[in-house]
Amino acid sequence: MERELVGIFRSLGYQAVEGPEVESEFFNFDALNIPEHHPARDMWDTFWLEGSLGLEGPLGEEVRGRLLLRTHTSPMQVRYMVAHTPPFRIVVPGRVFRFEQTDATHEAVFHQLEGLVVGEGITMAHLKGAIYELAQALYGPHSKVRFQPIYFPFVEPGAQFAIWWPEGGKWLELGGAGMVHPKVFQAVDAYRERLGLPPAYQGVTGFAFGLGVERLAMLRYGIPDIRYFFGGRLKVLEQFRGVL
Ligand code: DAH
């Protein structure tokens, strides 16, 4: 599933990059406009790590601060922007972690696919176009997309999106998206400045999205329980060999 998604975006000109699963509070939260004590942090139940590993920043510099298991792939937006100048199109597949009570739709470990496109004149229309292309690639010409407003601290406006699955006859609620919040660009340029790099994110706009990979696979293959993915049951593994 992850390979299929990355393949779709590669064919649309996106580059696939990966980031660390052990992340700092700064990249996972602060730089994404989620300050400490902000209620928005409650959206992500976090596994905090004790002690201090030597964590590397986007340019190999030492990163200080509290460490955690990344709760989403969004911190890679910041890491990538610090180390690159726009325009670019990237997707970031990866494993994420939530300190959750597990049930049929919640698991402490799952995968996301993050997307980020930054350049001059990027608009919400480009975001809709990207998700539309994804829908077409997954479910053909009868598929369509739906966007509804929702809050995420690192985008403004923010949206949740769904893809119409023609054979299943239903909307698949896949993830969140939106236009990159100016505060994220500011945090990136401030960090670049600290590393002695010139600002690179003035006068550009961008869109971002993030979707749950297991969720899409569950809906597509009729898998009733997310815990099957990491349960290691042979019946499940054999049935989906080479597919998931
Ligand atoms: N990081 C969000 C989460 O895990 C998902 C998300 C929402 C990613 C909006 C985005 C975005 O890039 O624009 O809940």
Query: pLDDT grade, residue 143 (50/70/90)?
Result: very high
Residue 114's pLDDT is what?
A: 98
Report the C-alpha gap between 101 and 149 in whole angstroms.
27
Residue nearest to atom 12 of ligand 1 (CA): 209
Over 70: is that where the pLDDT of 244 sits? no
Backbone angles phi, psi at 33, to 5 degrees: 65, 35
Helices (H), the chain: 2-11, 25-28, 75-83, 124-139, 182-194, 213-221, 228-231, 234-239
Over 90: is that where the pLDDT of 18 sits? yes
Please name the helix (run of DSSP H) or strand (run of DSSP E) that holds residue 161, with its range, or none.
Answer: strand 155-165
> What is the Å distance from ligand 1's center to 211 Cα?
7
Q: Using N-to-C axis directions, what is the helix angle for 213-221 and 2-11, rounded to 10°?
A: 110
Query: pLDDT grade, residue 241 (50/70/90)?
Result: confident
> What is the Å distance from ligand 1's center to 77 Cα?
10
Neighbours of 119 (CB within 10 A): 13
Ligand 1 pocket test: which of 209, 213, 214 has the largest number of ligand atoms within 8 Å of its C-beta?
209
What does the block give as tokens for 59? 């340019």
What average pLDDT does this structure show over 171-183? 95
Using DSSP's 3-state secondary structure scheme, residue 179 falls into strand
Residue 222's pLDDT is what?
A: 83
Give the tens place of pLDDT for each residue, 21-40: 999 999 999 999 999 988 88
> What is the Å distance from ligand 1's center to 70 Cα?
12
Residue 240's pLDDT is what?
A: 78
* Predicted TM-score of the model (pTM): 0.93
Residue 28's pLDDT is what?
A: 97
**Could you give the residue numbers annotated as active site?**
44, 72, 98, 112, 155, 208
